[in-house]
Amino acid sequence: MQKMVEKIPLRKAIVRLDYPAIISFGNPLLDIFVALESDDLLKKYNLRSDGETELCETKIQELIVDLPSESEQRVSPGGSAQNTMRILQWLCDETHECHIGTFCGAVGTDQRGSVLEKLVRLSGVDVRYAMHTSLPTGLCISLVNGTSRSLVANLGAANIYTLEDFKKVNLRFDNVKIIYIEGFFITHSLEVAKELVKRAQEKNIIIAFNLSGLYIFKDHHPAICEMVGHAKIVFGNAREMIALAQALNVKYDDVTDIPFLLNSLKRITVDVSNATSKDWLADDGIFVMTRGGSAPAIIVWGKGQSVQVPPIVPKAPIVDTTGAGDALVAGFLAGVLAHWDPKSCLESGCRVASYITTRVGVTLPSSIPADLML
């Protein structure tokens, strides 16, 4: 029986940390949000509703030209891990007096890149971009039609982040509690991810990994499986978890079995279970699965222990689901930094994800709503 520990409010817990407490790696993108009146554009470019795809720069430019002139458009910072870092900073300290985290990725030396850096710095995140002179800054167009959205990306410079780029940044890991890596990043920078795993092992840092997208399994499932093997915490939605189970040849009857089977597999492989530890973060094999809609999110940890948290219905209407997954990770990792129990971490993630769906894109107001003061 776990001893109940009093939950310390997030901001009280955060002031006890040295910064940066979290360093994150991903594909920094500039997001353009477009509200569509019909799905004509999706049909023309063969795009799936609620899908993700990558297009070459030429195709992206064609799509930009084709955007209906009357449609509402907004620009904001994007990229999965970069979104998570901005939300996490906002949850911990929207005054930006302390930089909770550092974000690393690559951009071009173009206007898109300078706009992106300025916007991310304004959100209080310490960015350490590698600069590429020959490639454009990555772009993601979010085509929003009702409550569904289709993401179209061109990674550009974000697709190249080398060990050389990493060494140039000269990051210090002395105070870092979490290294967070998005799945998209390892499709081009697995060597950097392996170096981060090495640093994490040396300094007892938590590696948190996001499966990120269904389509990357097609060409990169060995790299994804390798990172799942190294990570302490793995995030994914039901479709991504199914793809992971297939990649690892894990047989299941129901999708809700998958995180339990993965947790069990991890314990057999790593054999790190420490029965005497009171800390749920002492073991590897923590799997967090979201299922969308009205289905509860699930966390599995330890020796098959689990909690389910039903989705929190937002107070305002849902306008855009972009970034809901990134927000859930931000709320969850905030809980990890505050040393909360698994259920509190997941509840925090669900609450933040619910709030983000009421805003277009990952846009954050200057002050945090009272009910999100975690």
| SS3 per-residue string spanning 163-179 | HHHHHHHCCCCCCCCEE
| Alpha-carbon distances of 136 from 26, 66, 106, 117, 227, rounded to whole Å | 16, 20, 10, 14, 28
| Alpha-carbon distances of 243 from 110, 287, 323, rounded to whole Å | 36, 14, 21
| Nearest-angstrom CA–CA distance, 43 and 35 | 16
| Nearest-angstrom CA–CA distance, 93 and 14 | 9
Q: Is the peptide bond before 28 cis (omega within 30 degrees of 0)?
A: no
The CB density around residue 187, as the number of other CB atoms within 10 Å, is 19
- Enter the tokens of residue 340: 């909360």
**Catalytic one among 31, 326, 341, 371?**
326
Sorted by sequence, the CB contacts under 8 Å of residue 332 that are 6+ apart come out as 235, 288, 345, 346, 348, 349
Is 18 an annotated catalytic residue? Answer: no
- Enter the tokens of residue 286: 């923590």
Q: Cβ(297)–Cβ(353) under 8 Å?
A: no
Q: Which residues are catalytic?
A: 326
